[in-house]
Structure 1
Amino acid sequence: MKELRFRIILVIAAIFLSLYLLYPTFQDYQNTKNITNTLKEKKEILKKENPSFSYKELNDRLRAIEDSIKSSDASFKDARAKRIKLGLDLQGGMRVVLEVNTGKLLEKLAINPDDKFRTILDQSVKEAGITDESIVSIFGRKMNENGIR
């Protein structure tokens, strides 16, 4: 029974610790949502009062209002500093595109490359830089034109 009680206390303590550590993150999201709603209201008011404002002037005013709201209450800064920082994958992502240097790959895969092979490969790389055709298809076509298998 003592073991079970210890486990229950440990689980409850872990839950309370996680809630304690997550509270600044929740508070920051709520503050951000409130600021966004306030800025939307202010934007509508500014548009009605000054329809001649340009897009840049309106954004400058809204940025100044946002800065004044954030600087007026220290709890905004505290919550922002203590919140859990999200990585790029959770913020909306980061896209990485890796591209293979096909010309170098063909050169390294060749077992016994001769001068003709290197010449055709260099021509293919140059032609691929000019056109949208892939290096492999250009290289294959040029090899067929020269009668090389």
Structure 2
Amino acid sequence: MVPNKSSTSSVDVGLRILIQISQSKSKSNFVVKPKFNLKKPTFLTTNRVDPTCFLKSCHLCNKKLSLDKDVYMYKGDQGFCSVECRERQIYMDEMKEIEESTKKMVASFRESCRRCETGALLEQFRQQHKPLSSPKDRAIFVL
């Protein structure tokens, strides 16, 4: 069925143009697309070497986890043999977060101090190099 010119939509016209362009260039049905690399999932970036050993050993002390004993979980995928190991890991993570935030605060403070020092130096420079006032404004003392 051949559509009438009056019933042809702009989409049909656009598709017809694409078909004509593709037929005139080559008879191939291949579509060329740029190559892309798959990135490894970020959730597997724990200290574990092999993701298949999930919950086989304690995340902190590497002690073998037993099926007949409790496993203490932290952050969803980290298993621990005891409450103590789990609490130590929580404490270490909190200390790491505090260190990182402290480093950011110190860096921010240093940056703001640099701006303050620069402003103070600029003001001092302006004061030293202030043009002298005009002779009319100066008082002249004659003896």
Larger helix fraction of residues: 1
Larger strand fraction of residues: 2
Asked if Structure 1 and Structure 2 have the same fold, meaning a TM-score greater than 0.5 normalized by the shorter chain, the answer is no
Q: TM (normalized to structure 2)?
A: 0.32
Q: Looking at both structures, which has the greater relative contact order when contacts are Cα pairs under 8 Å and sequence separation is at least 6?
A: 1
